[in-house]
Structure 1
Amino acid sequence: MPSTQFYSRLPLLTDFRAISRAENFAPLPEDWHVVMSDVRNSTVAVQSGQYKNVNTVGAALITALLNAAGAIEIPFIFEGDGSTLCVPPELLDDARAALLQTRELAQRSFGLDLRIATIPVADIAAAGSSIRVARFQVSEHYVQALFTGGGLAHAERLLKDPASAPRYAVVPGSVAPRGNFDGLECRWQDIPSPHGETVSVMVR
């Protein structure tokens, strides 16, 4: 299986129960890279009323990198105050350029600072973690990437840990910022709670 087409050739899961079975997830190729953005001090920004801006910046990297990828399908997840994508080596330069362009957008338009990094899957594997991925067909027109194995959590620690962050950070001057944000939009519709408060529970 060519590495570039790895994700697009994974079978589509259509039964939600199938995501609970480990055999339905495939290991990400070790020549791929994890691409991450994270808004610094996002909790403070959200508490000050900037949650829409934080979410917009989180989605911006996904838009820029999907536009750069073109016909190459890549898995990604939106994390509210950032995003994580996995790319083959052919897209690594595009990913770094998009990270820098997204960081500029965050600073210029919203006054937000982004952590940005690319982390080789091989480094994550060498540390004893794994990234396994599956494709779940949510609807006729939307396929969701699913991850397991703990590798993305390890990548996030590498992104945020001052001891490891410099090794993986994408720094200005390493590549020219470049990113196409066509298609980026965040539609907002407030949903009032019938009881005055809405609670989201995240289980890891």
Structure 2
Amino acid sequence: MLTSPSPSVYDEFRDRTAEVITHLTGEGLPLTAPAAPAADPDGPWASPPAAIDRTTLAWCTAALMLANHHQTPIRQQALSADALLRERGDRGLAELHSDLHHGAPVDYNFTRCPYCSGIGDDPTEPTCEELRCPPQAEFADHYHLCPVCDGAQYAPEHHAQERLAEVDRLLADTISSSRSARNRFGLSRRR
């Protein structure tokens, strides 16, 4: 019996964008957000406002994150996603993810990145395999790292073992230092 191959993470990106675009067109919302009102030309923020493409993976990710968190339709979060990407760009997705966790920092070694789904590379750029990046590029200015998780390696099983080993080492150090302090000062446990 033949089974269909499991979808790749890149299929997930395409499906995520298609889902949001379907919602937008079904609701009659434009796929390009109107530009924000022009700022005061004499003011300190006189840069021209940019129109937002609502078909990008970043916008679709922001809209889905907001809609899922607030349990609302995507159309109600469209303006929020527009503002986020207009003001913060792709990097704003990391701030949004943290804000949705009540401001707590998000460890992408243990939490799948909402933008790249844990692959670590910018999903809109060619992959390392396609570009044939050398292994040492991981430690240099690797220009196509995910702007949200900064290329964090999502591997909770691997990192959990590392963290448990570190906690065990710290606990052993604490126990040995407390014993040596008691011996040094002539303190002993009461029985």
Give the TM-score normalised by structure 1: 0.25
Q: Which has the higher contact order (CA 8 A, sep 6+)?
A: 1
Question: Which structure's residues are more often helix, by fraction?
Answer: 2
| Greater C-alpha Rg | 2
